């Protein structure tokens, strides 16, 4: 490292964070801005050379970063999420992958007139999609759960499989070709799979056992996990080169599906770390590109990209989804989304370097061609996938709906007011009587424990973005807040205190455990239930220039309890003890009033 290493790394992290923020604001995948910045500071302006900055640590840093990113992604893979669709995922990472590989290799050979060896190596490198691009794109596109889960599983599972396929082709190339080389390559592939599977399953089981039996204090869970991921990755690669990606993927999937093992806190830490590493890696790898290498490809390289996007991917989906329950619109969206990510970039850079060193003709084209596919698929798919998903009818609506805990008179009346205002609601109650009454009143209601595995499988969360814990028990409300704060976000979970005597006790509980406290000071479940049972109603009042929020207060006095405010753009805000709202003309206010009096 040189004397400018420290400020360069600090700027790299800062610019990466800025790209992530810009992507969030404009609702596009961050990889677009990360690649643009990398190309700008690297080949265009020549301000940043990551290989010179990191020296011999450049490729080890990339390898360890990819391992962490892949582990974090695999930690989200739960078998119950693809119940009934396992065969589709299996086909996509096997038969579908082979279809993509063959078509890509053929297109590369005939379009660019390069050797079959390099063509098949490039085809193997670009079969991978990966969580670095799939997961950010899914946040933007928001397809139906079936499509999202398939794409997430494919993107994570295919990375180690695709990397192993690339190793197979590479070993075949450097062994000189022929039957002997093919046998050697197959032996190498089988060793990678065996070592990776055994190492990953063993590490996953032992660490899961340690978590289940509480051998580690909670504050050490994340750091020990990070250490174990890096150690298992390196140890696996020492046992057999390139088996590390298989190891960390199997380890993550094992932990995610191990019974009575809570990985939420670990996942939260790893997700933040993955975002940081993704931001750095894409800028660094894009900065290594050379403009001359892109010019050397010529316009013929576009035929390769078009073959991958419009021929290889659709055919692989057609083959993989035969006999499945997926609708044709869902299959069409699957056929459109397959962006290439960091694993393809890293593998191409590694194998190109090795093959160039031994003087293999055409190896220098691997990196620019791979980045052409990465940039092309990401730009095209990220800017069009949401539009296509909406057109096909397989996109989830904006998550503005409410999951309401409790179906008593408070939950029912608030639910009806929200539903009548155009918001989706889903009630949940453990009481059979409350659930039955809510259903008879036309409210979508789940009867059972909201925190159970049954609820996760059978509750329809499409369009749900907020939790309102409105039961008469603080313990139930807090349990729901804790359970859903990771899924919905800590800013989207709200709780109503049960009775006035518990107000101070509840306030002493940390905010992350109880969520935001609903409605104004002193308003509790008991307060609302008593007013509703004595004839009070929840009504919607449209504010105008001549009838303001203050006028509404004047009409009802202290009997008015404001609950929600909806702005002219149909965005809803909750009145809470932490936040005051000042709605103006054009807003609508949902409030509890003593009787239905005209505005």
Summarised one tens digit per residue, pLDDT across range 439-489 is: 999 999 988 888 776 676 567 676 788 999 999 888 888 888 888 887 788
Residues contacting residue 140 through CB under 8 Å, at least 6 positions apart: 27, 28, 29, 382, 385, 386
* Per-residue pLDDT reduced to its tens digit, 290-329: 888 888 888 889 999 999 999 999 999 999 999 888 999 9
The full length of the chain comes to 599
Task: Quickly list H helices, 213-262.
Answer: 221-239, 244-257
Tens of pLDDT, residues 161-174: 887 888 788 777 77
Q: Give the pLDDT band of residue 599 (cuts 50, 70, 90).
A: very low
Comparing CA positions, the residue from 534, 542, 595 lying closest to residue 568 is 542
Rounded average pLDDT over 544-570: 88
22-26, 222-226, 282-286: which has the minimum mean pLDDT?
22-26
CB 2 within 8 A of CB 53: yes
**DSSP per-residue string spanning 428-465:** EES-HHHHHHHHHTT--EEES-TTSHHHHHH---TTEE
Label the pairing between strands 493-495 and 516-517: parallel
CA of residue 260 relative to chain centroid, distance: 23
Which helix (H) or strand (E) is 120 found in, with range? Answer: helix 116-125
pLDDT digits (tens, 9 = 90+) for 17-68: 999 888 877 777 787 888 889 989 988 888 888 888 888 888 888 888 888 8
Q: What is the pLDDT of residues 577-586, one digit of tens each?
A: 887 788 989 9
- CA R_g for the chain: 27
Report d(CA 309, CA 572) in Å as an integer.
40
Task: Give the contacts of 37 (CB within 8 A, at least 6 positions apart).
Answer: 15, 19, 283, 286
- Output the CA torsion sign for 12, 18, 22, 25: positive
| C-alpha distances out from residue 468 to 155, 459, 540, Å | 34, 16, 19
Residue 262 structure tokens: 């809570």
Q: How far apart (Å, rounded) are the C-alpha atoms in residues 549 and 73?
A: 48
Quick: pLDDT tens for 144-162: 878 888 898 888 888 888 8
Q: Is 177 a residue whose pLDDT tops 70? A: no
Query: Distance between CA atoms of 299 and 163, rounded to whole angstroms?
Result: 28
Please state at what angle helix 178-212 crosses helix 244-257, rounded to 10 degrees.
30
Domains of the chain: 56-273+300-392 (1.20.1530), 401-593 (3.40.50.720)
Instruction: For the full predicted model, state whether its pTM sits above 0.75.
Output: no
Token digits of residue 247: 């190891």
Residue 119, pLDDT score:
92
Q: Does the structure show a pLDDT above 60 at 505? A: no
DSSP state of 298: -
Q: Which of 489, 532, 530, 495 is nearest to 510 (CA)?
A: 495
User: DSSP secondary-structure letter at 451?
Assistant: T
């Amino acid at each position: 490292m040189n004397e400018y290493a420290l400020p360069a790394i600090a700027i790299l992290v800062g610019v990466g964070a800025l790209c992530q923020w810009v992507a969030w604001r404009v609702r596009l995948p961050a990889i677009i801005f990360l690649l643009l910045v990398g190309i700008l500071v690297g080949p265009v302006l020549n301000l940043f050379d990551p290989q010179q900055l990191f020296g011999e640590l450049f490729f080890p840093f990339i390898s360890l970063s990819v391992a962490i990113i892949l582990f974090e992604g695999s930690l989200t893979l739960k078998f119950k999420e693809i119940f009934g669709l396992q065969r589709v995922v299996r086909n996509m990472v096997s038969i579908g992958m082979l279809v993509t590989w063959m078509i890509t290799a053929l297109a590369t050979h005939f379009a660019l007139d390069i050797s079959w060896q390099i063509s098949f190596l490039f085809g193997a490198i670009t079969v991978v999609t990966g969580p670095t691009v799939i997961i950010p794109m899914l946040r933007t596109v928001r397809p139906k759960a079936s499509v999202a889960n398939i794409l997430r599983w494919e993107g994570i599972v295919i990375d180690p499989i695709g990397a192993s396929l690339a190793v197979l082709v590479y070993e075949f190339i450097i062994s000189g070709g022929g039957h002997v080389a093919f046998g050697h390559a197959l032996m190498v592939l089988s060793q990678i799979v065996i070592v990776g599977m055994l190492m990953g399953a063993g590490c996953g089981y032992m660490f899961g056992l340690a978590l289940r039996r509480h051998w580690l204090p909670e504050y050490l869970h994340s750091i020990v996990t990070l250490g174990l991921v890096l150690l298992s990755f390196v140890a696996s690669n020492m046992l057999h080169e390139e088996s590390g990606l298989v190891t960390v993927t199997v380890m993550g999937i094992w932990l995610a599906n191990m019974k009575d093992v809570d990985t939420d806190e670990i996942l939260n830490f790893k997700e933040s770390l993955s975002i940081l590493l993704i931001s750095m890696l894409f800028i660094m790898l894009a900065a290594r590109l050379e403009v001359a290498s892109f010019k050397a490809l010529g316009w013929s390289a576009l035929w390769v990209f078009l073959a991958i996007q419009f021929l290889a991917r659709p055919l692989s989906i057609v083959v993989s989804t035969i006999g499945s329950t997926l609708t044709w619109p869902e299959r069409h969206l699957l056929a459109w989304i397959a962006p290439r990510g960091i694993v393809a970039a890293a593998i191409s850079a590694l194998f190109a370097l090795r093959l160039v060193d031994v003087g293999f003709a055409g190896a220098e084209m691997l990196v620019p061609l791979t980045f052409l596919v990465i940039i092309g698929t990401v730009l095209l798919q990220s800017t069009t996938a949401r539009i296509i998903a909406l057109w096909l009818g397989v996109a989830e609506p904006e998550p503005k709906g409410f999951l309401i805990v409790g179906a008593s008179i408070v939950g029912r009346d608030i639910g009806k007011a929200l539903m009548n205002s155009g918001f989706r609601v889903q009630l949940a109650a453990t009481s059979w009587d409350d659930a039955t009454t809510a259903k008879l009143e036309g409210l979508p209601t789940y009867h059972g424990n909201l925190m159970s595995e049954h609820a996760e499988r059978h509750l329809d969360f499409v369009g749900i973005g907020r939790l309102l814990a409105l039961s008469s028990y603080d313990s139930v409300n807090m349990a729901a807040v804790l359970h859903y704060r990771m899924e919905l976000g800590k800013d989207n979970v709200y709780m109503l205190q049960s009775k006035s005597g518990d107000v101070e006790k509840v306030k002493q509980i940390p905010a992350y455990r109880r969520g935001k406290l609903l409605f104004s000071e002193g308003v509790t479940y008991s307060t609302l239930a008593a007013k509703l049972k004595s004839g009070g109603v929840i009504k919607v009042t449209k504010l105008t220039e001549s009838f303001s929020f203050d006028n509404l207060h004047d009409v009802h006095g202290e009997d008015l309890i404001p609950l929600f405010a909806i702005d002219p753009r149909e965005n809803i805000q909750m009145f809470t003890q932490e936040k005051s709202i000042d709605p103006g003309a054009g807003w609508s206010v949902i409030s509890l009033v003593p009787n239905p009096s005209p505005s």
